[in-house]
Amino acid sequence: MNSTVDAPRSALPAQLLKGQKALVTGANSGIGMATAIGLGRAGADVVVNYVADPDAAGKVVEEISSFGVRAAAYQADVSQEDQVTAMVGRMVEEFGTIDIMVANAGMQRDARFTEMTLGQWQKVIDVNLTGQFLCAREATKEFRRRGVVPAVSRSAGKIICMSSVHQLIPWAGHVNYAASKGGVLMMMETLAQELAPEKIRVNAVAPGAIKTPINRSAWETPEARKDLLTLIPYDRIGDPEDIANAVVLLASDLMDYVIGTTLYVDGGMTLFPGFATGG
């Protein structure tokens, strides 16, 4: 193993997901983009879902294709039932099946409580929670139809929900977002319980503060960075690749006995760092 900072990335076995087909929602930006690339680097064929900015999605497809696997960009709004059904149907038609669904797409529409409109509340619930429900449901139908193919994977399929530390940590001024991620936690655990007998593994990754466009204001200026770092015992802001690595591992058979778990990838943010010196 080399000793560069890239080591954890390049150390992932290149063919860990060989022969598997993955779909990543919201894969033309931030965590979804890094995850789609990580899955492709690990040998999976990848569908790159996007809702806007096809050029960005095209670049992700190009990079994934350079690993010698298959990739394509599909447009769909994950909060729309007909679009999600059509997207998964198209993947089954064009790629043969789906083995890994990464329900990653998400958004924020922040406001103090009494200023938050019903539209802001509803939009975030629709995308962050209902979108994951729809994607998980459509993928499950295909996992069930196909069943286990031992040469590909020990399980019939994997669903990985992109949650957040805010499935646990309350977040003033973001009640729609925190409620959506709290919902993802119970949805994920309930699905894991319901689907495990069918050899379908459902898990979540809960990122802490990761440098992406969704939270630019939290890391863009030196003052904001300093404030943010007080919440992170490991004293660095996360990179999208930190999350991608966790997803690749969770999706692989190395984690075949991991069911209904949330993997926090947060530099220790959920360890209540204020208590290190107080309490």
Whether 177 is a known active-site residue: answer yes
| Strands 45-50 and 200-207, sheet pairing | unpaired
The interface region with ligand NAD, picked from 1-9, 30-38, 226-234, 248-256 by CB under 6 A, is 30-38
Looking at residues 37 to 56 of the shown chain, list those that interact with ligand NAD (rule: CB under 6 A): 51-52
When binding is defined by CB under 6 A, the residue of 38, 106, 157, 183 that contacts ligand NAD is 106
For the chain, the farthest-separated pair of C-alpha atoms sits apart, in whole angstroms, at: 57
Binding span for ligand NAD by CB under 6 A among 141-149, 212-220, 250-258, 268-276: 212-220
Given a contact cutoff of 8 angstroms between Cβ atoms, the answer to whether 115 and 169 are in contact is no
Q: At what angle do helices 81-95 and 131-146 cross, to 10 degrees?
A: 30
Q: Which residues contact 271 (CB under 8 A, 6 or more apart)?
A: 233
Q: How far is the CB of 204 from ligand NAD (least distance, A)?
A: 10
- Does the protein bind ligand NAD through residue 207 (CB under 6 A)? yes
CB 39 within 8 Å of CB 247: yes
- Catalytic residue (choose from 74, 177, 234, 257): 177
104 contributes a contact to ligand NAD by CB under 6 A: yes
| 210 is an interface residue for ligand NAD by CB under 6 A | yes
Pairing, β 45-50 against β 100-103: unpaired
Is the CB of residue 61 less than 8 Å from the CB of residue 48?
Answer: yes
Q: What is the DSSP letter of 65?
A: H
Binding residue for ligand NAD, selected from 45, 77, 142, 241, defined by CB under 6 A: 77
Residue closer to ligand NAD (CB basis): 153 or 174: 174
Residues in contact with ligand NAD by the rule CB under 6 A: 25-26, 28-32, 51-52, 77-79, 104-107, 127, 131, 162, 164, 207, 209-210, 212-215
